[in-house]
Amino acid sequence: MNGVTLDGVIQGPGRPDEDTRDGFAHRGWAIPYSDEAMVAKMGERMGGDRAFLFGRRTYEELLSSWNAQGGPFKDALNEARKYVASSNPATRLEWPNSTLLHGDVRQPWRTSRRARARTS
């Protein structure tokens, strides 16, 4: 599955109550287009040696949603490395394997890429 966006935003794909900012009324739009086989395959592909870069809001939404639901996404997201950009240096990251990016948010990402390149 690939998400394609023209403006860099995929708003509220998962739940009818998700992300109502600015009066967005089409929440939960992706649900009719998924099935158990797709969810299982996406969970598989999310695991392994992957890392995710999230903004704080997305990180918090994913944490509350998938840890409550369980299933393959929960396990994959809990096991994966997560980098979270936030303007607040006191942001608490509750998920395992999470790193707060504050200040020069590009530096930890560059360091991680270099480390992976050396082990490849």
Segment 8-50, tens digit of pLDDT: 566 666 667 777 777 777 766 776 777 778 777 777 777 667 7
Q: Is the pLDDT at 57 greater than 80, yes or no?
A: yes
d(CA 55, CA 40): 25
Q: What is the pLDDT of residue 23?
A: 79
Q: Is the pLDDT at 2 greater than 60, yes or no?
A: no
Q: Which of 54, 55, 77, 53 is nearest to 65 (CA)?
A: 77
**Whole-model pTM over 0.75:** no
Q: What is the pLDDT of residue 10?
A: 65
Q: What is the pLDDT of residue 80?
A: 87
